[in-house]
Every structure is written in structure tokens, then in C-alpha cells.
Amino acid sequence: MSETKPKVAFICVHNSCRSQIAEALGKHLAADVFESYSAGTETKDRINPDAVRIIKQLYGIDMEETQRPKLLEDIPPVDIVITMGCNVECACLPCKHREDWGLDDPTGKPDEEFIKIIKTIEIKIKDLQAQLT
């Protein structure tokens, strides 16, 4: 089977929290089905430290080791674009399928809010994985 796996881009404005979590969980849970990338229309200088800490606690993944904030032009062409719910317009990113997950940004909120968003992203990653298999 030489067919290449679809490439999925998780997009939000700063590429520092939700989209990074989605990239990490996509790679962790669904690498057999699709390739995961994240990017933003602007970037912060680092991934949200609370997201990094909680993902490490929950899944043993060190996002700072394998990921960094990226701009849309830093990722390869993708098949699927998923926006995180920050009203980001990425018309400049062509794709075959586009959806918005409508997630609140947990930045600056208590760990419980992060965990709620992370668990929602995990469910959505698994749903996407099931749709693509």
C-alpha cells in the first residue's frame, strides 16, 4: 500500500496551545492514520507552559522536545484543515476538508480547564481517526 496518509493541520492564531495539543495527540494517537501538523497565523515564542506540563503529566509527551510554534507557511500542503475555534481565517491554506472544533482557549485558566479541553481534543482526534480509516 503506497498511498500516503492524509496530512491534517490544526490551526489557531498563535499556535501555542490548542493546536499544539492537537498536534501532539494526533501524533500520539493517530499516527497510523494521518500525519499531524499545527500552525498559526502569528506565533508566540514558545508553547504554552501549562499545556506542556499537563500533556507531559497525562500522556508522557514532551511537546517542547518535538514541536515548536509555526506559521502556516512553515507546514507542508495539507488535506484537512481543523481550526480550533479562534475565528482564524486561513483561506490561504487550500485543503480537501475543513472543520472548526470551536474550543475555548484555556490559557491563563486553572488546570481543570486545560484538562477538559485536552480530553475534548483527544475525543475529536479519535473521531477523526475513525472517519479516515
Q: Domain for residue 122, yes or no?
A: yes
Q: What is the pLDDT of residue 61?
A: 97
> What whole-number distance in Å separates Cα of residue 64 and Cα of residue 128?
25
Q: Is the pLDDT assigned to residue 91 strictly greater than 60?
A: no
Q: What is the pLDDT of residue 89?
A: 62
Least confident range of 89-93, 111-115, 126-130: 89-93
Domain holding 76, by residue range, is: 7-132
Q: What is the pLDDT of residue 131?
A: 96
Q: Domain for residue 75, yes or no?
A: yes
CATH assignment at residue 15: 3.40.50.2300
Q: Domain for residue 1, yes or no?
A: no
- Sign for the CA dihedral angle at 133, 6, 58, 118 comes to negative
Q: What is the pLDDT of residue 41?
A: 87
Amino acid at 97: H
As a whole number, the mean pLDDT across the chain is 92
Q: Domain for residue 76, yes or no?
A: yes
pLDDT in tens, 69-86: 999 999 999 999 999 986
At 90, the pLDDT band (50, 70, 90 cuts) reads low
Q: How far is CA 130 from CA 2, 83, 99, 101, 125, in A?
A: 20, 19, 16, 16, 9
- Contact between residue 126 and residue 30 where contact means Cβ atoms under 8 Å apart: yes
- Contact between residue 102 and residue 85 where contact means Cβ atoms under 8 Å apart: yes
**12 or 2: whose pLDDT is higher?**
12
